[in-house]
Amino acid sequence: MKIKVRYFASLREKAGKSQEEMTIQTGKDLSDLYRALRLKYDFSLAENEIKYSVNNEYVEPNIPINENDVIVFIPPVAGG
């Protein structure tokens, strides 16, 4: 199934892009996807250090991914 993934901040820098469209297997959840992308792009943040958004709503990492979902991985933001 086709999905769109968007990256912000340090994740965008590591991936070298702000978004990508990809095809994944049915039955995967957000946690599965992040683990695969973490290996692919060498993300340093663990799963519990980021926030997950699907179709503009914050969600838990164990929800299943559906066709045409827009997934955003949001790293912690530091500021001052």
**CATH number, residue 48:** 3.10.20.30
In a domain, 16, yes or no: yes
Q: Domain for residue 79, yes or no?
A: no
Range(s) of the domain holding residue 14? 2-74
User: Is residue 69's pLDDT more than 60?
Assistant: yes
79 band by pLDDT with thresholds 50, 70 and 90: low
Domain count for the chain, please give it.
1
80 in a structural domain: no
In a domain, 64, yes or no: yes
CB 20 within 8 A of CB 4: yes
Q: Would you say residue 61 lies in a domain?
A: yes
- Residue 77: pLDDT band by 50, 70, 90 thresholds? confident
pLDDT for res 36: 96
3-50 pLDDT tens trace: 999 999 999 999 999 999 999 999 999 999 999 999 999 999 999 999
Tell me, yes or no, whether 19 lies in a domain. Answer: yes
**CB neighbours of residue 28 within 10 Å:** 15
